[in-house]
Structure 1
Amino acid sequence: MARAETRTHPDTADAALLEGGRVGLSGRWTADQGAAVEDAAARIAGSAAGAPILVDLSQVSRLDTLGAWVLERTRAEIEAAGGRLAYAGAAPEHRILLSEVKLRAAEPAPAPRGRLYGFLEDLGKRVVGAKSDLVTGLAFFGEVVTACIRVAARPGTFRGTALVNQIEQVAFRGVPIIVLISFLVGGIVAQQGIFQLQRFGAQSFVVNLIGLLILRELGVLLTSIMVAGRSGSAFTAEIGSMRMREEVDALRVMGLDPIEILIVPRILALVIGLPILTFLASLAALAGGGLTASLYGGMTVDAFLARLQAAVSLHHVAVGLIKAPFMALIIGIIATIEGFAVEGSAESLGRHVTASVVKSIFMVIVLDGLFAVFFAAIDF
């Protein structure tokens, strides 16, 4: 086989056909020689004709990713046509580059699937993810319980200042917004109840409606949702920021347990603060309902209080307060888990803060439903 005509410029990528099915490459096989590289690769592929080819790279002065990729693409085309291509004389750095850009067999395009299949697949992934979250939550809850037992066994190690600070942040500073929103919601519920019940001449029963609804369900549910959005997201952001700055790892290096230092005070503050906020929210909602009943229903304050006392009893108040610590525990566990899951980017922090709020609100509503079924079953 005669040598093919070579290019005049010594740095231009070229492929010369030699004797015995050999091809000698020369010049720079780089991105700035893209046209010459493609032309030389086309000549290599055209000379194959199903016969094995040995490509000599000893005269290649420079090889970059583009040149290596073109060579590997040409090799794949020749092998797909039934031929064979091998390299010889390559410098060590050229062999490494060729091995890194080696083309893989293209995966066949997935067959088109219907919407029902995609929906079921997505549902399955979410179920598996929910199972993983449940296992993670139970394991984390076990760590928190263990840390609480260690703190109870060694009270001197407990950081009371951190607990007081968290109670201030969760409960004291949350009172204005929670009381205001509860007051407005109580007024709205009373107004709608009066408008609907007055059709039957039973607007006075709006006191029974708002009394039972607020004390048993709405007070604790509204408070938990607001605490999840306010304090739960703050917990996730604080712990996530500490993770990003490696402060959590620094605590471990100093021999301190991050669960005892960061998690226990926050969860205890929620467990203590949420029942208090629930009680205040219920009072504010009843006040809003009483004001609305006075303005729209013509009911005096004495009549409202008398009917409220007849409609509700102490166990209705207890129902809402019993739920509060459990909802606080759920919010604290989810918020801190998401905080510890934050990675090193602001995007990860935002994603986990969002997940913390969404999961907390979802679990609060689920837990409220379970409690409603339980209390109905025991007639409480």
Structure 2
Amino acid sequence: MTDVAEAPSWLARIGRPVRVRFGYALTMAALAAGILRETLQVHTWRRTVRAEFRWILVRTTGGGLPTILVTGVLVGFALVYQAIYWLGQAGQEGLVGRVIVTVLVREVAPVLVGFLLLGRSGMVAIVELGTMQTAGQVHALRGMGLDPFRVLVLPRVLAFAVGCFTLGVVFVLVALLTGFVSGSLLGVVRLSLPGFLDAVLHAMGPRDFLLFPGKLLAIGALVGLSAVLTGLSAERGDSLTTLLPRGFLRGVLAVLLTSGLLSLAA
């Protein structure tokens, strides 16, 4: 009887962390499925939901724009200009477009924008929703007849997805323009701006036109999902010192896994 009684406790110590990890992934999948379903329902988009979506979208894109511009300039000089310069030195100017598309458009831009979105807006969402959860405000919304999923979760996840796509496009354009201008001023670029952009566009295949927006939308949505799930799962004993590292780690894993899996699938 003693051996039988000890077995569940031993198994629980092993299974508890596994169950927690799988529970988080399954909850993320359930939330994603619910968002896809609710987004297509007309009655979902009531005035409160639309107002929350607009507010989060403006805060996400407007607040992250200065950081995106500065980062785009730095990456444009460090990556685009360097690619133009060294390929020119090697006599491989024809590969400039392909290298820029492969490195910047497909890999660097989605990951960097995802990290910036996580740090700039994801952490804010964790603090907001974690505070609401521990203060009982989420329960109060239910008492007022409002669905927290529609009012808090859905608009944030969709706004993060749209915001990530918008910031990603701006980031790539700024990086390309910075690299071209730097190369022109230093006498490295021999093409006009339309010719340079045309070379980049011609280097993009059909998969690139699908992969680039797909990565940005998926990364933005998963950053938003990880942030709202971390915030709404906060308990009374949690504080910012526990919520923020947990949310940051989850967000980083979401960005890297999404980018890697979509790259492999393409």
> What's the TM-score once normalised by structure 1's chain length?
0.58
Within 5 Å, give how 1:255-334 maps onto structure 2.
255-296=145-186, 298-302=188-192, 304-313=196-205, 315-334=207-226
CA shift for structure 1 position 267? 0.7
- CA distance change for structure 1 residues 289 and 161 in 2, over 3 Å: closer, same or farther? same
Asked if the contact 2:97/2:201 (under 8 Å) is kept, the reply is no
SS of equivalent residue, structure 1 residue 174: helix
User: Which residue pairs with 1:78 in the alignment?
Assistant: none
Tell me if 1:184 matches 2:64.
Answer: no
Q: 1:202 to 1:145 in 2, by over 3 A?
A: closer
Partners of 2:198 and 2:35 in 1: CA distance? 48
Aligned-partner Cα distance in 2 for 1:329–1:344: 27
For structure 1, list consecutive stretches of 5 or more residues without a partner in the other structure. Answer: 1-123, 376-380
SS at match of 2:235: coil
Matching residue of 2:4: none
Which stretch shifts more, 218-227 or 289-298? 289-298
Tell me the secondary structure at the aligned position of residue 298 of structure 1.
coil
CA contact (8 A) 1:144 1:263 kept: no
Q: Offset at 1:348?
A: 2.2
Question: How many residues are aligned here?
Answer: 250
Question: 1:52 — aligned with what?
Answer: none
Q: What is aligned with 2:60?
A: 170
* Contact kept? 1:166, 1:265, Cα under 8 Å: yes
Question: Deviations 1:174-215 (Å, cap 9, x if unpaired)?
Answer: 222112212211220134435644553335644432233222
CA drift of 1:219 comes to 1.6
The aligned residue for residue 234 of structure 1 is 124
Select the residue among 36, 43, 48 that pairs with 1:154: 43
**Residue aligning to 1:336:** 228
Q: Tell me the CA shift for residue 143 of structure 1.
A: 4.4
Cα offset for 1:245?
1.9
The separation in 1 between residues aligned to 2:206 and 2:62, in whole angstroms, is 25
Measured after TM superposition, the shift of residue 298 of structure 1 is 1.7
Matched, 1:134 2:22: yes
Q: Which stretch shows the higher mean deviation, 281-290 or 194-203?
A: 194-203
- SS of 2:145's equivalent in the other structure is coil
On the 8 A contact 2:80/2:175 being kept in 1, the answer is: no
The offset of 1:313, in angstroms, is: 4.5
- Matched with 2:252 is 361
Larger Rg: 1
Change (3 A) 1:270 1:309: closer
Matching residue's letter, 1:165: W
Distance 1:228 1:189, change over 3 A: same
Matching residue of 2:239: 348
Find the aligned partners of 1:298 and 1:315 in 2 and give their Cα distance.
30
Residue in structure 1 matching 2:134, options 220, 229, 244: 244
Secondary structure at 1:173's aligned position in 2?
A: helix
2:101 & 2:22 partners in 1: Cα distance?
35
Deviation of 1:309 after TM superposition, in Å, equals 4.0
Q: Tell me if structure 2 keeps the 8 A contact 1:191–1:296.
A: no
Q: 1:216 to 1:147 in 2, by over 3 A?
A: closer
Which of the two has greater helix per residue? 2
Paired residues of 1:216 and 1:317 also in contact (CA < 8 A): no
The structure in which a higher percent of residues are strand is 1
Aligned CA distance change for structure 1 residues 289 and 249 (closer, same or farther; 3 Å): same
CA RMSD of aligned residues (A): 2.9
> Partners in 2 of 1:199 and 1:153 — Cα distance?
57
Distance 1:223 1:243 in 2: 28
Q: What TM-score do you get using the length of structure 2 for normalisation? A: 0.81
Counterpart Cα distance in 2 of 1:246 and 1:155: 24
In 2, the alpha carbon distance for the partners of 1:178 and 1:274 equals 11
Instruction: Give the distance between the partners of 1:175 and 1:314, measured in 2 at CA.
Output: 28
- Which structure has the higher relative contact order (CA within 8 Å, separation 6+)? 2
Does the 8 A contact of 1:194 with 1:297 survive in 2? no
Distance 2:206 2:224 in 1: 28
| Cα distance in structure 2, aligned partners of 1:167 and 1:272 | 8
Q: Is the 2:73–2:174 contact (alpha carbons within 8 Å) kept by the matching residues of 1?
A: yes
